[in-house]
């Protein structure tokens, strides 16, 4: 995969019939949905069937499972993601015909034209922050448009075409596509090296965020000062005369939260301050990391004209996105959660929230439940880059169950497997380790390990998400599940 350069786009209504290759992907499906809602004839294909593909059919997108040149039909524009290879038969035919071929980010940018663009970027936290911002604006009556990398728990969809002037997008830095968007408000949740197979070095990766924050249409930058990488960027931007609003727990943050308390309900509360405004912010989702995400969303809301009270009230109605500390089942005294975390820092945040939930459960039940983490590494390159960090974070649960690597778009690298993470975790002191190579063996392995009171969390952005529902079926067969 290569870094992308921005391209000139036209209004989405002018692209003619549009065909999406890999339409069922988490990023692609949300954009395809909006083209259909706009009234543009929209089709899509993917290599396998999925819930997202079926959802697109319900809004008028004609879809196919498998790739074939016949699927292009009368398309004038073809949309691809960075995962699509040049030898894909549909892409090769589109290029042969001379059709307009856009990356997903260009197709999304075309939808944003004429709106107030809010682009939310960062190494991690951007999906939840985007979802919080979209929810806040919706609950405050602003009817925003949005495209999120994960579906909202309330609606089960990841995108909406609203009548308001704000268009909120999750902006992906992995391939530099975040530089494509017509952004008025740029949000940066953190800057911590990742995707080095594309960027090459941590310095080049950090420089990409500077390009994002100084894009030609950017008027405001909202940035986290609790993170060293984004704080350094904030200092640089201010030295350049840019308008920056900082957020976090740091005493010098413009939007600051303190007096944090975890709630028995699983949420969290804190005091949020900005200028002369101060008061409680209570969230239904757990963790300091979510207070940071909410602080970023709050800053966007204030820039778009929301009052303090309207912003914090609306944020309190956010209940989460799918695959972000999502409860899958609470059966036979065992809770199973699923989380998209795949970078060491994200995993640490998820495990910290899971540890607090485990301790709260033990206090309520009197049991001695354990925290069991089931981690599927994602990408061979990322595993190589962060194997020591993965090993270290896998010392945080009581038991670590490691799966083999989900390679996704990458070809295997000889010698790079999930066992590297196991070896690293052992070097860092984790003694309770289980390696399960086949993901389909994970549910049975976890069922064998788990006992009442335990909390299990599956971690990774690949197909480890199948494990929780399969495990729930096994737990339902336990005698404890039918006990009165």
Task: Report the CATH fold assignment for 114-315.
Answer: 3.40.1190
Catalytic residue among 90, 170, 192, 410: 170
pTM score, whole prediction: 0.77
The per-residue pLDDT for 43 is 97
The per-residue pLDDT for 133 is 97
72 Cβ partners below 8 Å, 6+ apart?
19, 78, 90, 93, 94, 97, 99
Domain chopping of the chain, boundaries = 12-103, 114-315, 326-482
How far apart are alpha carbons 323 and 331 in whole angstroms? 19
- Look up the CATH number of domain 326-482: 3.90.190.20
Catalytic residue among 42, 77, 126, 133: 126
Known binding residue 128? Answer is: yes
Q: Calculate the alpha carbon distances from 56 to 17, 42, 46, 339, 389 in Å.
A: 16, 10, 12, 24, 38
Task: Report the CATH fold assignment for 12-103.
Answer: Rossmann fold (3.40.50)
Q: Check if the beta carbon of residue 400 is closer than 8 Å to that of residue 373.
A: yes
The per-residue pLDDT for 83 is 83
Known binding residue 345? Answer is: no
Residue with tokens 């398309």: 75
Q: Within a 13 Å sphere around the CA of 421, how many CA atoms are in the beta-carbon half?
A: 33
Cβ–Cβ contacts within 10 Å for residue 76, how many?
A: 17
Known binding residue 124? Answer is: yes
The per-residue pLDDT for 360 is 83
Q: How many residues does the chain have?
A: 484
Q: Bridge-partner residues for 258, per DSSP?
A: 271
Known binding residue 127? Answer is: yes
* 126 catalytic residue (yes or no): yes
Known binding residue 125? Answer is: yes
Whether 114-315 and 326-482 share one fold: the answer is: no
Known binding residue 122? Answer is: yes
Nearest C-alpha neighbor of 211 from the set 177, 168, 167: 177
* 419 catalytic residue (yes or no): no
Full DSSP string of 424-466:
HHHHTT---EEEE-SGGGHHHHHHHH--TT-EEEEE-SSGGGG
The per-residue pLDDT for 264 is 67
484 residues of the chain, pLDDT tens digit each: 578 899 999 999 999 999 999 998 878 999 999 999 999 999 999 988 888 899 899 999 999 999 999 999 999 999 998 889 899 999 999 999 999 999 999 999 999 999 999 999 999 889 999 999 999 999 999 999 999 987 787 777 889 999 999 999 999 988 899 999 999 999 999 998 787 778 889 999 999 999 999 999 999 999 999 999 999 999 999 999 999 999 999 999 999 999 998 886 778 899 999 999 999 999 988 888 899 999 999 999 999 999 999 999 999 999 877 667 888 999 999 999 999 888 898 899 889 888 988 988 888 888 999 999 999 999 999 899 899 999 999 999 999 999 999 988 788 999 999 999 999 999 999 999 999 999 999 999 999 999 999 999 999 988 899 999 999 999 999 987 776 5
* 170 catalytic residue (yes or no): yes
Catalytic residue among 77, 127, 130, 358: 127
């Amino acid at each position: 995969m290569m870094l992308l350069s921005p391209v000139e786009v036209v209004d989405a209504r002018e692209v003619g019939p549009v065909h999406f290759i890999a339409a069922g992907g988490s990023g692609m499906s949300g954009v395809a949905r909006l083209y259909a809602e706009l009234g543009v004839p929209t089709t899509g294909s993917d290599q396998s069937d999925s819930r997202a593909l079926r959802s697109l059919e319900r809004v008028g997108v004609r879809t196919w499972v498998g790739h074939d040149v016949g699927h292009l039909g009368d398309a004038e524009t073809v949309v691809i993601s960075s995962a699509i290879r040049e030898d894909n038969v549909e892409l090769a035919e589109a290029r042969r015909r001379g059709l307009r071929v856009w990356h997903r980010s260009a197709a999304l940018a075309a939808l944003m034209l004429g709106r107030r663009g809010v682009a939310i970027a960062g190494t991690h936290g951007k999906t939840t922050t985007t979802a919080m911002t979209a929810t806040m604006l919706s609950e405050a009556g602003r009817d925003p448009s949005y495209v999120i990398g994960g579906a909202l728990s309330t609606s089960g969809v990841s995108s909406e075409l609203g009548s308001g002037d704000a268009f909120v997008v999750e902006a992906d830095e992995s391939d530099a596509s975040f530089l494509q968007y017509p952004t008025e408000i740029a949000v940066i949740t953190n800057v911590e090296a990742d995707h080095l197979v594309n960027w090459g070095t941590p310095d080049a990766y950090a420089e990409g965020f500077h390009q994002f924050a100084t894009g030609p249409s950017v008027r405001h930058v909202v940035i986290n000062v609790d993170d060293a990488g984004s704080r350094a960027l904030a200092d640089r931007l201010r030295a350049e005369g840019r308008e920056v609003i900082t957020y976090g727990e740091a005493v010098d943050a413009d939007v600051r939260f303190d007096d944090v308390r975890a709630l028995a309900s699983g949420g969290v509360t804190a005091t949020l301050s900005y200028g002369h405004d101060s008061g409680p912010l209570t969230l239904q989702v757990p963790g300091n990391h979510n207070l940071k995400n909410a602080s970023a969303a709050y800053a966007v809301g204030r820039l778009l004209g929301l009052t303090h009270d309207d912003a914090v009230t609306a944020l309190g109605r956010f209940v989460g996105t799918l695959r972000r500390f999502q409860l899958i089942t609470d059966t036979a005294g065992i809770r199973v959660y699923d989380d998209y975390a795949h970078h060491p820092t994200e995993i640490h945040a998820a495990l910290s929230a899971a540890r607090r939930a485990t301790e709260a459960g033990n206090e309520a039940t009197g049991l001695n439940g354990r925290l069991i983490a089931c981690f599927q590494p994602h990408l061979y390159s990322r595993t190589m880059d962060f194997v020591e960090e993965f090993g270290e974070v896998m010392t945080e649960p009581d038991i670590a169950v490691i799966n083999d690597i989900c390679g996704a778009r990458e070809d295997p690298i000889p010698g790079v497997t999930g066992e590297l993470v196991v070896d690293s975790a052992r070097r860092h002191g984790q003694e309770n380790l289980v390696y399960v190579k086949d993901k389909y063996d994970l549910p049975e392995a976890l069922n064998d390990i788990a006992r009442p009171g335990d909390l299990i969390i599956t971690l990774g952005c690949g197909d480890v998400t199948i494990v929780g529902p399969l495990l729930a079926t096994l737990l339902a067969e336990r005698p404890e599940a039918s006990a009165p």
